Structure 1
Amino acid sequence: MPQMAPLWWETLFILFIVKFLLMNTIMYFNKPYTPKSSSMQKSMSSNEFKWEW
């Protein structure tokens, strides 16, 4: 009969995998809320194509 790990090792390992996957999916779909004011967007868009050589 082959040696087998105790059941609690397997449950801890499976729990770790589930936590890891859940954390990665949450971090992937979590979009940070960064509000930008309209004046900031206008200034950024107006300065975007000003080239000074």
Structure 2
Amino acid sequence: MPQMAPLWWETLYMMFIMSFMMVNIMMYFTIKNDFKSKKKEKKMFINMNWTW
């Protein structure tokens, strides 16, 4: 019979995985919103015709 890990190791591992997933989800949505706002800013700058 294989040796079992203590229950608190498993709970720590599950908490780490859950927190990792939540941080990644939050980063995904914040970066997605940042790109939307940057696109709006870019549209404002595209209207200006720069000549060199």
After TM superposition, is the score higher than 0.5?
A: yes
TM-score range, shorter chain: 0.5 to 0.7
Give the aligned CA root-mean-square deviation in angstroms.
2.9
Q: Identical aligned pairs, as a percentage?
A: 49
Q: TM-score, structure 2 length as denominator? A: 0.64
Task: Name whichever structure is richer in helix by fraction.
Answer: 2
Q: TM-score, structure 1 length as denominator? A: 0.63
Count of paired positions: 46
TM-superposed deviation, 1:23: 0.4
The ranges of structure 1 where at least 4 consecutive aligned residues each deviate by more than 2 angstroms after the TM superposition are none
Q: Which runs of 5+ in 2 are unaligned?
A: none
| 1:1-53 pair list within 5 angstroms | 1-30=1-30, 31-32=33-34, 41=44, 44=45, 45-47=47-49, 50=50, 52=52
